[in-house]
Amino acid sequence: MFTGIITAVGHITDVLPLGATAAHGKRLRLATPAGYLDDVGLGDSIAINGACMTVVTLDASAPSFCIDCSVESLERTAGLNQIGPVNLEKALRANDRLGGHLVSGHVDGLGQVSRFEPVGESWALDIAVPRELAKYLAYKGSITVNGVSLTVNRVADRADHSLIAINLIPHTVQHTALHVLQAGSAVNLEVDLIARYVERMLGAGAAMPTVTPTLEAATP
């Protein structure tokens, strides 16, 4: 579990093939700020641009670490197959502050930035969201964009997508990799975890058929 509060901006320095065919994934090497990996061990989970990944190699002196991404993960996420800056968050500990919202690190879909520009002292970020995720979006609700916990300021439903408006304060732009976004950029989205469970609970009664138990005769 994560909170959507970015703890560092890392940098993908190498994208290495795990095999010779398109069926193989990639191994990513990421550089981090000094000291960031001091409390990290092999097998730990770190969210990379909002996608939960496992540390498979570690060099705290460099400092850098590697993760392995399957083809499935690469096809369903953005920004994990190219060199450049990424948002990092270590897994939540039981005694940590929950500064953002509950985040699983599972990307629900890809959005596309339609606007990213300064407005006053802040930045306006508009994202086109896939229609199937629209039901999870609400005014003043939470959404994770490239691993960053953000608040939805406005939702506009369209025929084939929804458009959400988000306001970014300067601190968020300066201390995350969101500053590299531009119109047309693909972003990883994770909707509010609680909203998904609410949908399941409301629909479970209608979706689950009633099964009458039967007794089988005992075999002598």
User: Same structural domain for residues 83 and 113?
Assistant: no
Q: Is the pLDDT of residue 104 over 80?
A: yes
What's the pLDDT tens digit per position in 5-20?
Answer: 999 999 999 999 999 9
Domain residue limits at 168: 109-194
Contact predicate 114/126, CB 8 Å: yes
* Whole-structure pTM value: 0.90
Q: How far apart are CA 106 and CA 31, in angstroms?
A: 22
Evaluate whether residue 166 is within a structural domain. yes
Q: Is the pLDDT of residue 219 over 50?
A: no
User: Of 12-21, 56-65, 190-199, 200-209, where does mean pLDDT reach its minimum?
Assistant: 200-209
User: Same structural domain for residues 133 and 172?
Assistant: yes
Q: What are phi and psi of 118, to 5 degrees?
A: -70, 140
Q: How far apart are CA 141 and CA 95, in angstroms?
A: 25
Contact predicate 18/25, CB 8 Å: yes
Contact predicate 12/77, CB 8 Å: no
Q: Is the pLDDT of residue 212 over 90?
A: no
User: Same structural domain for residues 22 and 65?
Assistant: yes
Q: How many domains are contained in the chain?
A: 2
